[in-house]
């Protein structure tokens, strides 16, 4: 039994897309990521008793939390310790529109919104650097050795240039991007994909190193394309990035199929996004109307869900099903 206080805090976070550079980023190469306007909203109330959680994954006492949420538990515990609060006396409600396990950064987004809410509830200041370190606790449970790109992008309101252990640089986009995201309907497996690349690196070092170096070059060129507003060059680079990810073995038949559907619909570029082995792909259109055409084709060709949006506004659209 718990007693609810009128003291409440509500905070949000958003999803993310890796535009170029996934997997290579694990090896210290640069990547570009952008905010994706799928949202997580967390409401926290002070109560008396155990910490209770209501979420799309689990509802109940934090003591009975499932293994897949152990990272969230550890993040909450450390956040409370940092502000000298007991690991108790909270009710946490998580509402999320981000599909779980699709390479869209759901675990980091949930941890960000929860951590922000805890600090807000107790009137404590929270720097972006401190938030990053707390959320990485949850991400380490979720992904093994995370690069930090999910957390960094979801803390930011802007596209970022990311390289491990280097300063995160906000990127200016000279021309709006019209992006389509399609969900295969199957969970991706970032942990396994990263591990597979690591094993391949051990057995086929030259091949993997060549791909990682090429992805790094693609990221550099993509940054230049964004700064110049050259969406046609950017699109070509997206296709090139996808081919390198295929060489690394992290794509699959369904992702490749959706990339080809987007290509046939006139997409300027398309590739998987995130860890791969399931999850999502993205495509680049010439306009919002063109993005809708691509999205409709992807939806009618097997994608379980499709969104499209412009980077100059915060609205997310779905094609008619």
In the numeric block, the tokens 């210290």 are attached to 28
Among residues 106, 153, 105, 103, which one has the least CA distance to residue 128? 153
Among residues 313, 199, 291, 310, which one has the least CA distance to residue 248? 199
Residue of 95, 150, 230, 252 marked catalytic: 150
Sign of the CA dihedral running 255, 157, 11, 85: positive
Residues in the chain: 321
Angstrom distance (rounded) from CA 255 to CA 190: 14
User: If DSSP codes are grouped into helix, strand and coil, which group holds residue 93?
Assistant: strand
Q: Is 253 a catalytic residue?
A: no
82 contact partners, CB below 8 Å, separation of at least 6: 130, 134
Alpha helix positions (H), 104-230: 106-121, 128-143, 149-155, 190-203, 205-228
Q: Environment class of residue 170 by beta-carbon count within 10 Å: exposed (0-12), middle (13-18) or buried (19+)?
A: exposed
Q: Judge whether 272 and 177 are in contact, CB under 8 Å.
A: no
Q: Judge whether 148 and 48 are in contact, CB under 8 Å.
A: no
Q: Judge whether 264 and 240 are in contact, CB under 8 Å.
A: no
Residue 319 per-residue DSSP state: -
Catalytic residue numbers read 150
């Amino acid at each position: 039994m718990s007693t609810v206080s009128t003291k409440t805090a509500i905070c949000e976070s958003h999803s993310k897309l890796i535009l170029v550079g996934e997997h290579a980023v694990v090896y210290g190469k640069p990547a570009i990521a952008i905010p994706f306007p799928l949202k997580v909203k967390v409401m926290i109330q002070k109560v008396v008793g155990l910490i209770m959680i209501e979420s799309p994954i689990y509802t109940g006492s934090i003591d009975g939390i499932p293994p897949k949420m152990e990272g969230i538990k550890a993040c909450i515990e450390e956040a409370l310790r940092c502000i000298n609060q007991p690991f108790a006396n909270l009710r946490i409600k998580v509402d999320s529109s981000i599909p779980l396990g699709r390479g869209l950064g759901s675990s980091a987004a949930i941890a960000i919104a929860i951590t922000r809410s805890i600090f807000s509830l107790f009137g404590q200041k929270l720097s972006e650097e401190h938030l990053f370190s707390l959320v990485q606790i949850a991400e380490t449970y979720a992904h093994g050795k995370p690069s930090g790109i999910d957390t960094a992008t979801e803390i930011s309101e802007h596209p970022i240039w990311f390289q491990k252990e280097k300063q995160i640089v906000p990127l200016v986009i000279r021309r709006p991007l019209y992006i389509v995201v399609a969900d295969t309907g199957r969970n991706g497996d970032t942990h396994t994909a990263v591990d597979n690349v690591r094993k391949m690196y051990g057995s086929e070092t030259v091949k993997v190193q060549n791909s990682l170096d090429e992805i790094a070059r693609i990221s550099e060129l993509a940054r230049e394309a964004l700064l110049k507003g050259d969406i046609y060059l950017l699109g070509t680079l997206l296709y090139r990035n996808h081919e390198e990810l295929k060489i690394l073995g992290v794509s699959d038949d369904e992702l490749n199929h959706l990339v080809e559907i987007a290509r046939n619909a006139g997409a300027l570029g398309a590739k998987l996004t995130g860890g791969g082995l399931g999850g999502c792909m993205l495509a680049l259109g010439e306009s919002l109307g063109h993005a809708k055409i691509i999205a409709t084709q992807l939806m009618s060709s097997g994608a379980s869900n499709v969104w499209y949006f412009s980077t100059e506004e915060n609205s997310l659209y779905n094609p008619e099903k």
